[in-house]
Structure 1
Amino acid sequence: MIQSELIISVGVLFTVGLFADQIGRRSKVPRVTLLLACGMLASAFDLVPEQLADLSETATVIALSMVAFLLGGSFKADTLKAHGAAILCISLAIILMTLLLVTSGLFLLGADPALALVLASVATATAPATTLDVIRQSGVSNGFTQTIRGIVAVDDAWGLLAFSICLAVATQMAGSEAELRVSVVHEIGGALILGCLIGLPAVFLTGRIDAGEPLLVEALSVAFLTAGLAVWLGVSFLITGMTAGALVANFARHHRRAFHEIEHIQWPFMIVFFILAGAALDTSSISKLGVLGAVLVVLRIAARLLGGWLGAAVAKVPKPKRGLYGAALLPQAGVAIGMALLAGQALPQWKDQIMGLTIGATVVFEIIGPFATMWALKKSDQV
C-alpha cells in the first residue's frame, strides 16, 4: 500500500528546508537553528507522522555518513601540513580541558566523582553535521575554517576514546557490575579497518566512468555501503566514513575533488535529519536541568573557550584568532545522546540523571551553538 501521508510529509519537509535556506541567507540566522525550530514546532503540534518519525534513526546515519565523507576529504596532505599542528593541539586541549573543568566543577558541587567523570566525558562530544553546515552557509573559506573542519573530524575519535576510558574508570569507581559494552579497539580500530577496506578500492575504482569525478551514483553507493556495513558490524560509522573519505581525497589522483557529488545530494538528507532531530528534542528538559545542569552548561562553554585558546597558543596560531576556536566548536548533538545511553546502561543507578542532564544540555547547545559558530566564522574573516 502506498503511504501517501509519508510522501506528502517528505514533500513538506523539503519545502520547509527551502524556506529555511532562503530565510537563513537573508537574515544570517543559521539554517540549522531554523530547521531544528521547525522540528520542535511540528512536534509540539503533533504534526510529525509516525512513519516519518520511524525514519529518524536511518536518516541520521545516512546524513552523518555523508558529513563524515566530506570531513574525511578535508584531511588532505597539504591541509595537514599547513594546519595539522593546530588541529591536533586545539582538539586535544579542548578534550582535556573539558574533562578537567567539568569533572572538578561537578565534583565540587557535590556530584559523585564517577558521575562527574562520565558527564564530563559526554560533554566532549561535538556536532559535526551542525558545524559543517554553518561553515557552508557562512561562505567563509580560510585557514580557520579548514582547521575547524579538521578539529570536528578528529573530535569524535578523541571523544569516543576519552568516553570509553572514563566510563571504564567510572564503573570501577562505582563498583558497578553492569556489563561494559564500550570497546575502544572495536569501535575505533574496527572503524579504521573497515574504512580502509572500503576506501582503498574506492581510490582506484571510482571516477573511471566519467574521468575526473566520481558519478553521483558512485558516491552514494560508497557512502551507503560504508554506513550500512559500519552499523551492521557495530563500529563507528563516522570514523569509518572519515577514514574512507581521507583515503580517496589523498590517493585518488584522477579525482579533481573527492566525492564532490555528495555535496549536491547531501542537503535533502540534512533537511530531514535536522527537522526530525528538532522534533525529537525535549525542550521541557531545559527546565529540569537545575543547578547541576546549569553548571554543566557553563563549564562546557568555559572549557571549550579556554581549551581552544590554549591549544591555539601552543600551535602558535595568530593571537586575534585564538579565542575563536572554542566558540566555533560549541554545538553538541546526537553523539552525546548516544554516549549517554551507553553510560546509562553501564551505570543504571544514575541512568535518569545522565540522560536528563545530557538531553537538556544538548538542547541548549543546539540552540546557541550554531549562532556562536557563525559569529566565530565571520569574525575569523575580519581579523
Structure 2
Amino acid sequence: MELTTLFYLALILLSGLIFGRAVKLFKLPNVTGYLLAGIILGPYCLKILSADMVTALELVSEMALAFIAFSIGSEFKLSYLKKVGTMVIVIAVVAASLAAILVTVSLIIIGVEFEIALLLGAIASATAPAATVMVIKQYNAKGPVTESLLSVVAIDDAVAIILFGLSTAVVNTMQHPGESSTVMSIAMPIIEIAGSLVSGALLGLLFTVPLKYFKKDSNRLIITTGFVFFASAIASMINLSPLLLCMSMGAVLVNISDSAESVFSLADRVTSPIYLMFFVVSGADLNISILPELGFIGIVYIVARFIGKVLGSYLGSAVTKAPAAVRKYLGLTLIPQAGVAIGLSLIASQSLPMYAQSIRTVVLSATFVYELIGPVLTKVSLKKAGEISE
C-alpha cells in the first residue's frame, strides 16, 4: 500500500502535537518538540519521512515563511515606533549586526568559505520571539527589561531579513562573476532589497481595496491568505526576496488600514498548523550523520552569536543611555533562535545547493541548542532584573 502525501501531512501534524506536549514536561518550548519529531521521523533516523518527501514538502516551508515575514511587518507600526523611541531600534540593530559580524569573521578565521560564512552570519542575527514571549507570559514579567525586550525582538528579525537579503544578493553575484559588471555587482543587492520593499508596499496598498468590500472574517481570511501567497510567489518569479516583500506588505498594511489588527489576528488562526509542519519538516531535514564533522563549526557559530548578541545589546544600551538593568540583562534574553533562522537557512541552502546540508545542519543544530538554553536564560535574566517574582 502506497502512502499518500496527505497521510504524511497528518502524521507530521499529530506527531508534532504529541512531541510538543511531551517536551513541556521538561519546561521546553513547543518548537523543540516539533524539531525533535522531525528528527525522529526523518530520513536520518526512523526513515518514515524519506528525503524525497521532505523535498516535496518544501511548499509548506514557503507558506510558513511568507506568513512569518508578513507578521513581522505588523510590528512596524509608526505610532508604536514613535512611542518606544530610538533606544530599542538602536539596540536591535547593533545586537543583530554585531552577531552577524562576529559569526562571519569567526567562521572565516577557522577556514569556512566566505560565502557560507557570510550567509551563516546573516542568519545568526535573527532572534526567536516566541520562546521569549512564552517566558514573559508564564511569569507575568513586568519592568524596563521586559518592555525593551518585547520591542527589540519585534525589530530584530526585520533587521535579520534585510541583512540576509543583502548577503544573499552578494553571494549570488559572487557565484556568477562573469554575468555582470562591477557596477552591477554592487548595485544588484541594493536593487533586490529596494525592489522587494517597494513591491511589498504596493501590494500593501492594494491589500486595502478588497478589505473595504468584504467584512466577514471568513472572507478576510481568504483575502489575507491569497495576498500572502501571491506576494511570496511574485517575489520568487521576479527574483526578489519573498521575506522582504511579505514583510513590507505587512508593514504598509498595519499603517494605513483600520482593519489591519483584525487581519493579523485572522492570520494567526490559520498559521498554527502551518508553523508546526514547517518545524517538523525542518527537523526531518537535519542530517545528524554529519554532525561530528560540523561539530567545531557549530560550536563557533553558537559561541560567536552568543557573544555578539550579549555584547551588541550592551553597546546599544550604553549608546542610548538605557536603564542599568537593560544594559546588564537584555542581551541574554536575545539568545533563542528558531523560525526565521530556520527559514533563512532553507533559502541559503537554495542559494548554495552544494553546501545545503552543511548550512542547514549548523543552523538546525544551533537552533536546537538555543531553544534548550534560551528560555532558561530569559527567565534567569528577568529574575535578576527583579521583574519576575519566582
- CA, structure 1 residues 178+56, in 2 after alignment: closer, same or farther (shift >3 Å)? farther
- How much does 1:138 deviate? 4.1
- Give the stretch that moved more between structures: 54-63 or 326-335: 326-335
- Structure 2 partner of 1:124: 122
- How much does 1:296 deviate? 3.7
Aligned pairs for 1:1-383 within 5 A: 5-23=4-22, 25=24, 27-43=26-42, 44-49=45-50, 52-106=53-107, 109=110, 111=111, 115=113, 119-126=117-124, 131-135=128-132, 137-138=134-135, 140=137, 143=147, 144-162=149-167, 164=169, 177=177, 183-206=188-211, 208-210=213-215, 215-289=220-294, 291-322=296-327, 323-325=329-331, 327-331=333-337, 332-339=341-348, 342=351, 344=352, 358-378=359-379, 379-380=381-382, 383=387
- How much does 1:335 deviate? 1.2
Residues 25-63 of structure 1: per-residue CA shift (max 9 Å, x gap): 554311111110110001111111567423332111100
- How much does 1:367 deviate? 0.6
- Give the residue type in structure 2 aligned to 1:309: Y
- Give the residue type in structure 2 aligned to 1:324: L
- Give the stretch that moved more between structures: 156-165 or 228-237: 156-165
- CA, structure 1 residues 64+329, in 2 after alignment: closer, same or farther (shift >3 Å)? farther
Q: Which segments of 5 or more consecutive residues in structure 1 lack a partner in the other structure?
A: 346-350
The SS at the match of 1:361 is helix
Check whether the contact 1:191–1:236 (CA below 8 A) recurs between aligned residues: yes
- Give the residue type in structure 2 aligned to 1:18: L
Q: Which segments of 5 or more consecutive residues in structure 2 lack a partner in the other structure?
A: none
- CA, structure 1 residues 162+256, in 2 after alignment: closer, same or farther (shift >3 Å)? closer
- CA, structure 1 residues 118+357, in 2 after alignment: closer, same or farther (shift >3 Å)? same
The SS at the match of 1:333 is helix
**Whole-angstrom distance in 2 between the partners of 1:3 and 1:302:** 49
Check whether the contact 1:98–1:120 (CA below 8 A) recurs between aligned residues: no
Which runs of structure 1 show a deviation greater than 6 angstroms over 4 or more consecutive aligned residues? 211-214
**Whole-angstrom distance in 2 between the partners of 1:9 and 1:118:** 32
Identity %: 20
**Whole-angstrom distance in 2 between the partners of 1:46 and 1:320:** 48
What number of residue pairs does the alignment pair up?
365
- Give the residue type in structure 2 aligned to 1:336: S
**Whole-angstrom distance in 1 between the partners of 2:6 and 2:358:** 36
- Give the stretch that moved more between structures: 74-83 or 180-189: 180-189
**Whole-angstrom distance in 2 between the partners of 1:300 and 1:99:** 7
Check whether the contact 2:204–2:250 (CA below 8 A) recurs between aligned residues: yes
**Whole-angstrom distance in 1 between the partners of 2:214 and 2:85:** 34
- CA, structure 1 residues 103+249, in 2 after alignment: closer, same or farther (shift >3 Å)? closer
- Give the residue type in structure 1 aligned to 2:13: F
Q: TM-score, normalised by structure 2?
A: 0.80
Residues 62-84 of structure 1: per-residue CA shift (max 9 Å, x gap): 00111111111111123211335
- CA, structure 1 residues 178+297, in 2 after alignment: closer, same or farther (shift >3 Å)? farther
Check whether the contact 2:73–2:246 (CA below 8 A) recurs between aligned residues: yes
Q: TM-score, normalised by structure 1?
A: 0.81
- How much does 1:193 deviate? 1.8
